[in-house]
Amino acid sequence: MTTAHGLLAPPSGPPPAPPVPRPGLPAAIAVAVALSVAFAMSQVLYWAQPAIASPLPWMRVFLLPESTPFSLTRRLLHVGWVIAAVLGLLLLITYRRTPRTGPGGGVGGRTLRACQFGILGALLLPYAVMPLDILASAPLILLMCLPTTALALLCVHRVQLYRRLPAWLLLTGFSWGVLIGGGFGTVMIVWFQRYAGGYLLDWEHPRDAIRSLYTLLSLNAGTFSEMGKAAGVAILYLLFRRHFDGVVSGAVVGAAVGLGYNLTETVRFMAEIDPGQATTQFWMRQVIGLMAVHVAFTAVVGAGFGAARRLSARKDRLLVVGGGVMAAIGGHFVTDATMPRLAAWTENLFSHDQTLDLLLGVPLVTAVTSGPFVLAYVVILRRGLREQAVGLAEALRGEAAAGTGAVTQPEAEVLLAPRRRLLLELRVWRRDGVAGLRHLRRLHQAQLDLATQHWHRTSPGADPFVPPEAPLRARVRELKGLVVPAARPSSSSEQEVLS
């Protein structure tokens, strides 16, 4: 408990914490460059392809003229590469000329940061053109899909029974899935449709050519769609590593990215690809497949990143991340390759009864194709939550025993019981309204964050990105009204957000 001496004496204490190492931005730029390299390779393949002239109707998909959004994306990316190169040069000059002094790095540090974010924006924002075009051209369909998607996002948020990721981080992941992930995947599919025919059409063996074309189309879609989504999880992990404390947070971020991608894909299929079967598409993608398919694939990717946070050996980190990405690519490919065939089989099975096919056939096909991956992320979440409960119990009891006032023993018992916490929230909401509820949630989350970071710090494999406990403890005491809030140095707020 804080004494009067502690309140009146000038703030004395430990010197400001040294700057948190920030290797995240250069690595995030490397991820964005990887997406650009993939785009450039497709462009080169397109330029180099043999010309074809095919009158066959099913080959016309490879002969369509370039759409305006795709053309705009391509041009903006070319401009973005030039901008990124110029900013990269400026970054190099600034880095060499201005030594970093102090935690913020002064003006030079701000210029460096601005250049880095500018490069990221120049390389990534053009991918948003195609999804924005799709979403803007079908606003009513978008509105129809928003309630189901929002409900799924809320479930994803609430599945975190203890410490929860900040809502803005979840929404950032969701937005990545809608715009950048969705855009990159769409762009790469369009590229394949434009160049594959030239390389693969074989009029000596047309049946084999058609099979190859459509199988490789599925492989292309699976690989680059998952690459786009995984890039989002990777960039969020690299920029906001402090918030990834294990597989639960990783899987949740991945699921949010997958939900965003699913929303864009649903609108695209309902409005452009299969408008005659819009109801079926909504049923498949926004009801039955909402928490399967894309959510499952990207949740597994996110779990890999979350698991990497707890591993000290680089080889292990690469293994868990690579395993997650491989699972997602394989799952997406097998879904695209087999789902149409399975759908035709169920249509025959139910004697072409559309109602039965919708009610039974669609869930059956979804279960067969992405069921194992749904099972995987459910198992990962359960195991992660169980481990969290054990680790948090130890950390909270230790904090209560330390007598700092941040967490008391009765509070520890409530924090470890999600149902009791929910009942308490309802009681506070009835008594104090929304403002009271929000304050209580902020307090609980700050206490759980303090315990989680303590648990993380004392676990094997902890990295230097774990934030110090003193500011977290001070935050909890401030929310409880135990101390008068003092002016915090700006660097600590930066450290809390970007670390």
Partner 1 sequence: MTSPADNSAATPPASSPPGPAPASGVPERRPYVRLMAALGGMGAVAAVIGALVGFTTDPAFPLPEKLPTLPVRPGMPPGLPTGPGALPSGFPSGFPTELPSGFPTDFPTDMPTSFPTDFPTDFSGGLPSGIPTDGSVPKSGGTR
Which of positions 38-77 make contact with partner 1 (CB under 8 A)?
46, 49, 51-58, 60, 62-66
Contact 245, 237 (CB under 8 A): no
210 binds partner 1 (CB under 8 A): yes
CB of 436 to partner 1, least distance (A): 28
Contacts (CB under 8 A) with partner 1, residues 394-423: 399, 402-404
CB of 195 to partner 1, least distance (A): 8
Cα–Cα distance for residue pair 305/241, rounded to 1 Å: 10
Cα–Cα distance for residue pair 89/259, rounded to 1 Å: 37
- Output the DSSP codes for 71-132: HHHHHHHHHHHHHHHHHHHHHHHHHHHS---SSS-HHHHHHHHHHHHHHHHHHHGGGGHHHH
CB of 422 to partner 1, least distance (A): 29
CB of 120 to partner 1, least distance (A): 27
For residue 194, give the nearest of 91, 52, 327, 73 by alpha carbon.
52
CB of 161 to partner 1, least distance (A): 19
CB of 164 to partner 1, least distance (A): 21
CB-wise, 96 or 204, nearer to partner 1?
A: 204
Cα–Cα distance for residue pair 59/43, rounded to 1 Å: 20
CB-wise, 222 or 289, nearer to partner 1?
A: 222
Size of site (CB under 8 A) for partner 1: 94
CB of 146 to partner 1, least distance (A): 30
CB-wise, 121 or 461, nearer to partner 1?
A: 461
Contacts (CB under 8 A) with partner 1, residues 179-208: 194-195, 197-198, 203-207
CB of 340 to partner 1, least distance (A): 3
To which H or E segment does residue 9 belong? Answer: none
Contacts (CB under 8 A) with partner 1, residues 229-268: 247
Residue 493, token pair as written in the block: 């707020």
CB-wise, 121 or 468, nearer to partner 1?
A: 468
Cα–Cα distance for residue pair 164/146, rounded to 1 Å: 23
The residue within the footprint of partner 1, chosen from 81, 95, 117, 214 (CB under 8 A), is 214
Interaxial angle between packed helices 247-268 and 206-239, expressed in degrees from 0 to 180 and rounded to the nearest 10? 130
CB-wise, 29 or 407, nearer to partner 1?
A: 407
CB of 343 to partner 1, least distance (A): 7
CB of 25 to partner 1, least distance (A): 21
8 binds partner 1 (CB under 8 A): no
Residue 430, token pair as written in the block: 């009835």
CB of 339 to partner 1, least distance (A): 9
CB-wise, 88 or 468, nearer to partner 1?
A: 468
493 binds partner 1 (CB under 8 A): no
**C-alpha separations of 412 from 38, 226, 246, 408, 479 in Å:** 49, 40, 21, 6, 16
List all residues 6 or more positions away from 183 whose beta carbon is below 8 Å from its beta carbon: 73, 126, 127, 128, 129, 130, 131, 228, 264
The residue within the footprint of partner 1, chosen from 163, 241, 473, 475 (CB under 8 A), is 473
Half-sphere exposure of 214 (CA within 13 A, CB side): 15
CB-wise, 214 or 283, nearer to partner 1?
A: 214
CB-wise, 88 or 323, nearer to partner 1?
A: 323
CB-wise, 421 or 454, nearer to partner 1?
A: 454
CB-wise, 100 or 205, nearer to partner 1?
A: 205
**C-alpha separations of 369 from 148, 215, 299, 366, 381 in Å:** 22, 16, 16, 5, 20
Site string for partner 1, 431-470 (x = CB under 8 A): -------------------------xxxxxxxxx-x-xxx
Cα–Cα distance for residue pair 276/144, rounded to 1 Å: 16
CB-wise, 118 or 323, nearer to partner 1?
A: 323
Contact 191, 274 (CB under 8 A): no
Cα–Cα distance for residue pair 87/64, rounded to 1 Å: 36
Cα–Cα distance for residue pair 448/143, rounded to 1 Å: 36
What's the 3-state SS for 13-35? CCCCCCCCCCCHHHHHHHHHHHH
CB-wise, 170 or 327, nearer to partner 1?
A: 327
Site string for partner 1, 96-115 (x = CB under 8 A): --------------------
Site string for partner 1, 305-344 (x = CB under 8 A): --x--xxxx--x--xxxxxxxxxxxxx-xx-xxx-xx-xx
CB of 389 to partner 1, least distance (A): 15
The residue within the footprint of partner 1, chosen from 76, 114, 219, 359 (CB under 8 A), is 219
- Output the DSSP codes for 142-204: HHHHHHHHHHHHHHHHHT--SS---HHHHHHHHHIIIIIIHHHHHHHHHHHHHHHHHHH--TT
Cα–Cα distance for residue pair 237/243, rounded to 1 Å: 8
